[in-house]
Structure formats: C-alpha cells, structure tokens
Amino acid sequence: MSLLDYFRSSRSKGTASVAKERLQILVAHDRSERHRPSYLPKLQREILDVIRKYVEVDMSAVSVNYEQEASREILELNIILPDTARNRA
C-alpha cells in the first residue's frame, strides 16, 4: 500500500466512524447503569445473609447481575458454595 493509498483509505473511513463506535459503547454502558434497579445492592446483602445461615461463605460468594434485553429483563444470581466434600466432612 502506497503512502497515498494510506491517506485515501484513512480519509474515507474518517474519524467520524471512530466517534460512532465509541459512542455506541459508551451509551450502551450508560443506559445499562441507568436501568439497573436501585435495590440490587440490598438484594445482594440480604441473599448473602440468608445463605450464611446455612453455609459459611464470604462476601464474594454471591454475585448479582442485571441485564436488559429488548423483550425481557434478566436477573442473574450466582452463588458459589464452598467445596462440598469438605463441608460434609
């Protein structure tokens, strides 16, 4: 590719397409933050308390994820239990 070609191709692509890509990511992120229900942290704490009644786990054992898709909202709970073999012992 000659130097001239390089300038031509970079001009036809332009900085506007970079701006658009960056904006799409940024705006999607802003929106997911905005739509996240405000009760999530409290939910996470209370779930953790319940689990701790039965199993010894630490803070990081429960993760709560929220995603919004076109037609549905997904609340994802991930609970990592400690090694079961050791628990039984």
Please tell me whether residue 32 binds another protein under the rule CB under 8 A: no
- Per-residue three-class SS string for 44-66: HHHHHHHHHHHCCCCHHHEEEEE
40 binds another protein (CB under 8 A): no
- Work out whether 16 is an interface residue with another protein (CB under 8 A): yes
Among residues 19 and 75, whose Cβ is nearest to another protein? 19
Please tell me the total number of residues recorded for the chain in this structure.
89
Distance CA 2, CA 78 (A): 53
Selected range binding another protein among 13-21, 45-53, 62-70, 75-83, rule: CB under 8 A: 13-21
